[in-house]
Structure formats: structure tokens, C-alpha cells
Amino acid sequence: MIEFQHVFKSYGQSANILADINFTINSGEFVFISGPSGAGKSTLLKMIGGLEPPSRGAITVKGERVDKITPRAMPYLRRAVGIILQDTHLLYDRSAFENVMLPLSVMGLNPDKAASRARAAIVKVGLGGKEKLNPIALSGGEQQRLAIARAIVNRPSILIADEPTANLDQENAHLILDVFRDFNRVGVTTLIASHDRPLLQCYSNRTLLIEPGRFTDLGYH
Ligand SMILES: Nc1ncnc2c1ncn2[C@@H]1O[C@H](COP(=O)(O)OP(=O)(O)OP(=O)(O)O)[C@@H](O)[C@H]1O
């Protein structure tokens, strides 16, 4: 489902941040990308989502070569991969509901159908009853859950999240990971970058470790 073959990445003239990365993630897996700050976790996730090109190597997502993606194939990738970046990019000039509606409006879905899907997504992340609030009125953990609702509203088969529990206390961090777990249980392939090893150890999963100059597939625990 996601395959990296001899992938290298550097920014501009800088040295390689990621060098000769090889791995395969199968459909339905729950994978953590772990490692110290600055090692390249965000870069790896962005490359899967087609937001950052590799410098060299092949990246295949759902049978599409992302490193060679054409503008025509981009909407397919956008729908297939739900992305939650470190900055949630929520819009504070509209309600929680309107934030979740946004990706559906872009797709041109029938408004009634879109509204019921958006409502269902909000309920799924535990924010039922808060749809009319501006995201600014939500707690950090709730804003993170709203970003998850917006990422899954298009029913992607892959969900990737960059440090979704950063700045959250333990209880809220677990709530967020439980939300991802629930989506994974219904078949969504899930990748989460986090440097919080103790938190990750609470979940049975596969871990890919990125350290400066080194990539290790730690397998399942
Ligand atoms: N757009 C960019 N242009 C230049 N350098 C970049 C860019 N994005 C990331 N980098 C550099 O690449 C390296 C890896 O960054 P990345 O954000 O992927 O690491 P990370 O493991 O996700 O870190 P963190 O846990 O702090 O988010 C860092 O040295 C960073 O400064």
C-alpha cells in the first residue's frame, strides 16, 4: 500500500536528511514513526502525502508513483490520504462544522450529503454538540480531534498524522490515539509520527525509528 524504495531526501544543497530508506506498509497497518526532533519524521510523512518530493528513489502509494505524480492524479492522492500536520491549519473565521465541510465543498459533493457526512465525522471524534463553536473555543485536544474529523471526512484509506499529541496531557494524548485506533480498526491504514516513546509503548503497533543518518524498522511489539 505504501512503499519506499531507495528514497533519499535533502533540502536544497544540504546533506541528506533521509538516505536510502526502504520499507513497505501493508493495508490496515497501524504504524508509528518515532525518533528525535529534526530526524526527518515530518519530511517522511509529507513525502507520502505528495507534499514534498523525494530527491531520489521511488515512493508508491496505493499503486501510484507519488514521486512522479501528475497534476491529474493529485486529487486521487488527496482523497486517498488524510493528512493532519503539526499545525492543524484550522480556520478560525468559521465554525467547527464549516471547517469539516471544507474538503467536501472542494469536491463538489451534494450539500445535504456533505452536511450529514460532516456531522457523522464530528460525532466519530467525540465532538458531537460542538459543531457550531468556533475552533478557538475548543481545547487543544478538541482542536486536534476536529483536525482528525476534517482529515477523515473524505473517507481516506490512509491517515497520516504528525505529532498529533504534542502539547497535550497524557489523558488527552490517549484520547487522540484511541480515535486513530478506532479508524484503524475499521481498516484505515494509519501512520503517526511522534517522539513520545513511553506513550507509543502503550499501544501494540509497528514502529519505524528515524534517527540522524539511520532508519530502523523495529517491527511489532
Ligand atoms: N522546507 C524545508 N526546507 C529546509 N529544511 C527543512 C525543511 N523542512 C524540514 N527541514 C529540515 O529537515 C530536517 C528534518 O525536519 P523534519 O521536520 O522532517 O524533522 P522531524 O523529525 O519531524 O522533527 P520534529 O520532531 O521536531 O517535528 C530538519 O533539520 C529541518 O530543519
CATH number at residue 80: 3.40.50.300
Locus of grid cell 475552533: 135
Given the CA of residue 46, which atom of ligand 1 is nearest to it? 18
Neighbours of 153 (CB within 10 A): 25
Distance 42 CA to ligand 1 centre (A): 7
Ligand 1 interacting residues, C-beta cut-off 6 A: 11, 17, 35, 37-43, 195
Mean pLDDT of the chain: 92
Measuring from atom 7 of ligand 1, which residue has the nearest CA?
Answer: 11
pLDDT at 109: 83
pLDDT at 80 over 80: yes
Q: Which three cell numbers stand for residue 217?
A: 524498522
Residue of 8, 16, 41 with the most ligand 1 atoms within 8 Å of its CB, for mutation: 41
Distance 113 CA to ligand 1 centre (A): 39
CA distance 150 to 98: 10
**SS3 annotation, the chain:** CEEEEEEEECCCCCCCCEEEEEEEECCCCEEEEECCCCCCHHHHHHHHCCCCCCCEEEEEECCEEHHHCCCCCHHHHHHHEEEECCCCCCCCCCCHHHHHHHHHHHHCCCHHHHHHHHHHHHHHCCCCCCCCCCHHHCCHHHHHHHHHHHHHCCCCCEEEEECCCCCCCHHHHHHHHHHHHHHHHCCCEEEEECCCHHHHCCCCCEEEEEECCEEEEEEEC
- Beta strands 30-34 and 189-193 are parallel
Q: Find the mean pLDDT for residues 101-125.
A: 90
Q: Could you list the residue range(s) of the whole structural domain that residue 143 is in?
A: 2-220
Identity (one letter) of the amino acid at 6? H
Burial call 15-28: b when 16+ CB within 10 Å, e when fewer = eebbbebeeebeee
pLDDT at 162: 95
Measuring from atom 31 of ligand 1, which residue has the nearest CA?
Answer: 38
Distance 167 CA to ligand 1 centre (A): 18
pLDDT at 2: 98
Q: What is the CA radius of gyration of the chain?
A: 17
pLDDT at 73: 85
The pTM of the full predicted model, rounded to 2 decimals, is 0.92
CA distance 149 to 48: 20
ipTM of the modeled complex: 0.95
Q: Which three cell numbers stand for residue 99?
A: 471547517
Going by pLDDT thresholds of 50, 70 and 90, the confidence category of residue 199 is confident
Angle at 156 between CA 97 and CA 10, to 5 degrees: 105
Measuring from atom 17 of ligand 1, which residue has the nearest CA?
Answer: 42
Measuring from atom 2 of ligand 1, which residue has the nearest CA?
Answer: 11
pLDDT at 17: 94
Distance 175 CA to ligand 1 centre (A): 27
Locus of grid cell 531507495: 6
Going by pLDDT thresholds of 50, 70 and 90, the confidence category of residue 118 is very high
How many domains in the chain? 1
pLDDT at 72: 86
